[in-house]
Amino acid sequence: MKKHIIAAAALMLAASAVAKPMTDAEKAKMDKFVTELMAKMTLDEKLGQLNLPPSDDIVTGQTINSNIGQAVAKGQVGGTFNIKGAEKIRELQRVAVEESRLGIPLLLGMDVIHGYETVFPIPLALSCSWDMEAIERSARIAAVEASAAGVNWTFSPMVDISRDPRWGRMSEGSGEDPYLGSEIARAMVRGYQGDLKNNDEILACVKHFALYGASEAGRDYNTVDMSRSRMYNEYFAPYKAAVDEGAATVMTSFNLVDGVPATENKWLLDDVLRGQWGFDGMVVTDYGSIGEVSVHGLENLPEASARALDAGTDMDMCSFGFIGTLKQSVENGTVPMENIDKAVRRILEAKYRLGLFENPYKFNDTKREKTHIYTKEHRADARRIAAETFVLLKNDGKVLPLAKKGKVALIGPMANTASNMPGTWSVAADFDRYKSLYEGIKDAVGNKAEVVYAKGSNLESDPVLEANATMFGREMRDPRSEEELLAEALATVADADVIVAAMGESSEYSGESSSRTELELPATQRRLMEALLATGKPVVMLNFSGRPTVMSWEAENVPAILNVWFGGSEAADAIADVVFGDVNPSGRLSATMPRSLGQVPIYYNHLNTGRPLAADAKGFVKFRSNYLDVPNTPLYPFGYGLGYTTFDYSPVRLSADTLTGDGSLTATVTVKNTGSREGTETVQMYIRDLVGSVSRPVKELKGFERITLAPGESRDVTFTVTPEMLKFYNFNLDFVNEPGDFDLMVGPNSAEVSTARFTLK
Ligand code: BGC
């Protein structure tokens, strides 16, 4: 329920900026202010600041006479979240400011994960753009819109690396790679926060700290167990990047980290986050995670609350452990007042940094809600950016792009559902304003072509499973039988020139609590696809998905496949732009697509093992690390994607074959557009450390550049390599580089590279 919220001019966007650290004088001013305020606070009022209750009763009651309104007036609430509507938020802020004794303003959060009402593609899709400007822009627009509706804190970016597509929350992150994930984490923090000065710059919250994406068997909320080497070298990187970029808040994860729940893990929060990374912002728990400590099999609520506070957690989201138990724990001497004060200070500092003490209504200019949300300009950006996220997996016989002529048959369970376009966590979406793909395609062709539509099948044959896909009002099950649906589809395509099949998952098949064990096209859709292919007409498959799905059969049988993920509020137009060739697709996978789910976890930057399979091995080899039944290679590798033109790469050229001390060397390739239309290519640079004191991955992304080339045009792309880039965490977790040989690889994806060797002296 908590995700259910009721609905309640052109704009110059500020240029991006990294939040500047405060000067000493500014810090001293803030310290003085907070110290003076804290001196006036009772213990109850302090505990109130640590309390982040859900807003459900405001949402449903629409009135501040609800429990939360009274609690705010009593100073028992530090903030709340997921309220939609500037008026409602303003009123609640008014209660905090005018009716509570000290008038401390509230933090007002929301899961603005990939846009507000202008919805951008799901984060996994955004990461496939490899376009940091676009991603930053998406976060900027999200902040502009959310702040116009009174929100001053977003629970984003979600930067959990994941290598297991069974996990539904893979949709919310940036895929499998620490480097790409880190760049994206930084871009999003910049986009949301800017320099935290203006009323359209809001607090970011990096989540879920830490390792949430590694839950065993891809089952949400499941146990995580990981070596520290893997934490430091792989999974920690994007959280740290976001912190380095100035992210003001961090959210703990539900899972265990080294046997202790993240929310009360002192090593994680105090030693790593605050100590080693220098994070001086505020830490909030995930929803109810202090309360879940005892369910993990550890201590009860008072002890869990005391431990979480001591570990460095400041704000309790929805467990009511801090407000409910810490007073007694202070009184009986088990919790030092100093721990409470530390947390209160950090929360007040976050409010101070937002400027709420200067102007508590800074984010409550209700006029902006009317002028700054779902604007023409924002929608144009969302459409452009969505088109960049689609990944063309296959295009035999150049079926795509389609000509705007003849008769186009649009078939499939995802073809006519506007509510399924935005994707999971479109918390503030207004589905009534968005188009279905059918509408988008019709608008794109105008009167140049005829478009016919039939659903063809339900998403699933199992109504229970489909019911989960229809949550949050996303999708309607067609009551007709599968036979009737199929017959209608075949009649519809009978005299069509081309078939566009809109298939895949519903948007609620991914996201929180949406893990799956079968990622192939469900039987209903497979049967439909077989029947469509049997007509002998050209078929284009649009695969809607919130994760990498398993598409071996499609790769074998369907001539053209465009992976469109969930593309946001403007997805329908953006898909049409690419299908009809107004936009040349340029997305590249940020997560490996497996041949078979049995290969999972499968990721490009794996370690070598003592018995790797030789690259030129043909089939299964006994006593090597491989499977009897499936090759080790993925169906589509990390970094992969096609377009409507082709590119040639020269071999990589190094400026030197040794690298020393503070020096650098460059690696250059010449890339040529060998096709007949302009296209954008993402040139990727990987390294391999051939001999290390700990085992090093066979490949690690270390740089990439998106370039746009006219037909026939070639360009040199140069990457600079420094010793700093070759560093890793050794056995003692020191960040070092070690002299020795390195392979440097450049290519269009992680599997097709040219290699040159150099030595670090
Ligand atoms: C999710 C978080 C989210 C929070 C607040 C939790 O269930 O794990 O990602 O920010 O709810 O809605």
Q: Is the CB of 475 under 6 A from ligand 1?
A: no
Residue 2's pLDDT is what? 34
**Residue 58: pLDDT above 70?**
no
Q: What is the pLDDT of residues 280-306, one digit of tens each?
A: 999 999 999 999 999 988 889 999 999
Residue 10 — pLDDT band, cuts 50, 70, 90? very low
Q: How far is the CA of 432 from the centre of ligand 1 (A)?
A: 25
**Given the CA of residue 2, which atom of ligand 1 is nearest to it?**
12
**Cα(531)–Cα(734) distance, integer angstroms:** 58
Tell whether the model's pLDDT for residue 9 goes beyond 50.
no
Concatenated DSSP letters for 694-737?
S---S-EEEEEEEEEE-TT-EEEEEEEE-GGGG-EE-TT--EE-
Tell me what pLDDT residue 475 has. 63
Residue whose Cα lies nearest atom 8 of ligand 1: it is 286
Report pLDDT digits (tens) over 72-83: 999 999 999 999
**pLDDT score of 68:** 83
Distance between Cα 210 and ligand 1 center (Å): 14
Q: What is the pLDDT of residues 709-750, one digit of tens each?
A: 999 999 999 999 999 999 999 999 999 999 999 999 999 999
Closest approach atom of ligand 1 to CA 251: 10
CB of 209 sitting under 6 A from ligand 1: no
Ligand 1 atom at minimal distance to the Cα of residue 254: 8
CATH topology of domain 645-760: Immunoglobulin-like (2.60.40)
The whole-angstrom separation of Cα 479 and Cα 526 is: 19
Rounded to the nearest angstrom, the distance between the alpha carbon of 563 and the centre of ligand 1 is: 27
How far from each other are the two terminal CA atoms of the chain, in whole angstroms? 58
Q: Read off the pLDDT of each residue in 84-99 and give the average, rounded to a whole number.
A: 95
Mutate which of 286, 290, 472, 513 for ligand 1 pocket (most atoms within 8 A of beta carbon)? 286
Mean pLDDT over 543-563 rounds to 98
Nearest CA to ligand 1 atom 2: 286
Greater pLDDT, 355 or 62: 355
287 CA distance to ligand 1 middle (Å):
6
Mean per-residue pLDDT of the chain: 94
Q: What is the average pLDDT across 567-592?
A: 98
Cα distance between residue 745 and residue 684, in whole Å: 8
How far apart are the CA of 286 and the centre of ligand 1, in A?
6
Nearest protein Cα to ligand 1, atom 12: 111
The answer to whether 667 and 652 have CB atoms below 8 angstroms apart is yes
Confidence label for 7 from pLDDT (cuts 50, 70 and 90): very low
Residue pLDDT, tens place only, 381-407? 999 999 999 999 999 989 999 999 999
Q: What kind of fold does domain 389-579 have according to CATH?
A: Rossmann fold (3.40.50)
HSE of 608, CA atoms in CB hemisphere, 13 A = 15
Q: What is the second-level CATH architecture of the domain 28-370?
A: Alpha-Beta Barrel (3.20)
Ligand 1 pocket, 286 CB below 6 A?
A: yes
Ligand 1 binding pocket includes 160 (Cβ within 6 Å): no
**Whose C-alpha lies nearest to ligand 1, atom 10?**
155
- Angle at alpha carbon of residue 115, lines to 114 and 118, rounded to 5°: 135
Q: Is the pLDDT of residue 474 over 80?
A: no
Rounded to 10 degrees, the C-alpha dihedral 161/167/169/172 comes to 50
Helix (H, G, I), strand (E, B) or coil at 5: coil
Pairing of strands 498-504, 407-411: parallel
Tokens for 447?
Answer: 């009167």
Nearest CA to ligand 1 atom 6: 287
Ligand 1 atom nearest the C-alpha of 207 is 9
At residue 698, φ and ψ (nearest 5 deg) are -70, -20
CB atoms within 10 A of CB 495: 12
Ligand 1 touching residue 512 (CB < 6 A): yes
Average pLDDT value for residue range 49-63: 67
Length of the chain: 761
Q: Given the CA of residue 208, which atom of ligand 1 is nearest to it?
A: 9
- Give the pLDDT band of residue 473 (cuts 50, 70, 90): low
What are the two backbone dihedrals, phi and then psi, of residue 728, each rounded to the nearest 5 degrees?
A: -150, 170
Q: Considering 56, 177, 200, 286, which one is annotated as catalytic?
A: 286
The pLDDT > 70 percentage for the chain reads 95
Pocket lining: 220 vs ligand 1, CB cutoff 6 Å? no
Residues 564-587: what's their mean pLDDT?
A: 98
Residue 15: predicted pLDDT? 41
Q: What's phi and psi for 58, nearest 5 deg?
A: -75, -40
- Which pLDDT band, with edges at 50, 70 and 90, does 665 fall under? very high
DSSP class of 198: S
Most ligand 1 atoms within 8 A of CB, residue of 55, 512, 513 to mutate: 512
Asked whether residue 3 carries a pLDDT value surpassing 60, the answer given is no
- Measured in angstroms, how far is the CA atom of residue 254 from the centroid of ligand 1? 10
> Which of 287, 424, 425, 515 to probe ligand 1 with, by most ligand atoms within 8 A of CB?
287
> pLDDT at residue 540 above 80?
yes
What is the predicted pLDDT for the residue at 472?
Answer: 62
Query: Which pLDDT score, from 0 to 100, does residue 299 have?
Result: 87
C-alpha 187 to ligand 1 mean position (Å): 21
Whether the CB of 155 sits within 6 Å of ligand 1: yes
Pocket lining: 544 vs ligand 1, CB cutoff 6 Å: no
Question: What is the reported pLDDT for 63?
Answer: 41
Cα gap 737→735, rounded to integer Å: 7
Q: What pLDDT does 69 receive?
A: 85
- Is residue 99 within 8 Å of residue 69, measured between CB atoms? no
Look at ligand 1, atom 7, and give the residue with the nearest C-alpha: 287
Answer yes or no: 497 catalytic.
no
Q: Is 207 in the pocket of ligand 1 (CB under 6 A)?
A: yes
Minimal CA–CA distance to 644: which of 683, 684, 676, 672?
A: 676
Report the alpha-carbon distance of residue 389 to residue 421 in Å, rounded: 14
| Domain spans, the chain | 28-370, 389-579, 645-760
- The DSSP bridge pattern shows strands 679-689 and 107-110 to be unpaired
Q: Are 130 and 704 in contact (CB under 8 A)?
A: yes
Q: How many angstroms does the Cα of residue 173 sit away from the middle of ligand 1?
A: 13
User: Long-range contact list for 462-469, CB < 8 A, 24+ apart?
Assistant: 466/506, 468/508, 468/509, 468/514, 469/505, 469/506, 469/507, 469/508, 469/509
- Percent of the chain topping pLDDT 90: 89
User: What is the CA(317)–ligand 1 centre distance, in A?
Assistant: 9
Q: Is the pLDDT of residue 465 over 90?
A: no
CA–CA separation, 525 and 369 (whole Å): 41
Q: Peptide bond before 601: cis, by omega within 30 degrees of 0?
A: yes
Query: pLDDT band at 60, cuts 50/70/90?
Result: very low
Q: What is the largest CA-CA distance in the chain?
A: 81
Place of tokens 């305020």: 37
Per-residue pLDDT tens digits for 194-241: 999 999 999 999 999 999 999 999 999 999 999 999 999 999 999 999
Q: pLDDT at position 462, please?
A: 79
| Closest to 671 (Cα-Cα) out of 706, 640, 653, 647 | 647
pLDDT at 103 over 90: yes
For residue 585, which of 751, 359, 450, 387 has the smallest C-alpha distance?
387
Q: Which residues contact 138 (CB under 8 A, 6 or more apart)?
A: 114, 115, 120, 126, 191, 381, 382, 385
Q: How far is the CA of 249 from the centre of ligand 1 (A)?
A: 14
- The reported pTM is 0.96
Per-residue pLDDT at 57: 47
